[in-house]
């Protein structure tokens, strides 16, 4: 969850896809401008999704979110990073105050993640929440 002055602004989802870039991802910048040799060096893809509660964020503010996300990822030379920003006001208005696994699954579906929470047994009350003051 991304906060500013105790106001929820969005969610940050970082997913290790554990695979090289696929054909559609190779068409995205900067990958389509890379040399074949550099692309062959990519062994893993890290997907970063930022889900915001509205469109009223400047490109500078969105850049801060992306920079924050990249600081959380352990950068390796053999990894490709895909960062995408989504805006979905409806999700934030319908989200309960204390979200549960079904709400997190909706969020994962929103960003087209292949991860299914119901396939994993975990106590959502012990999820790690990172904070930066």
Tokens of 52: 């915001």
The average confidence (pLDDT) of the chain is 85
Residue 10 has pLDDT above 70, yes or no: yes
Mean pLDDT of 120-124: 63
Grade residue 30 by pLDDT with cuts at 50, 70 and 90.
confident
Mean pLDDT of 58-81: 89
């Amino acid at each position: 969850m991304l906060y500013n002055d105790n106001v929820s602004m969005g969610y940050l989802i970082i997913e290790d896809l554990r695979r090289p870039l696929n054909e559609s991802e190779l068409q995205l910048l900067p990958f389509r401008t890379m040399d074949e040799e550099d692309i062959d060096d990519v062994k893993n893809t890290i997907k970063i999704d930022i889900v915001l509660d509205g469109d009223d964020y400047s490109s500078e503010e969105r850049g801060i979110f992306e920079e924050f996300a990249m600081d959380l990822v352990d950068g390796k030379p053999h990894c490709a990073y895909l960062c995408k920003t989504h805006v979905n006001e409806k999700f934030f208005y319908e989200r309960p105050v204390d979200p549960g696994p079904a709400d997190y699954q909706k969020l994962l579906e929103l960003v087209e993640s292949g991860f299914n929470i119901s396939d994993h047994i975990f106590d959502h009350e012990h999820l790690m929440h990172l904070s930066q003051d």
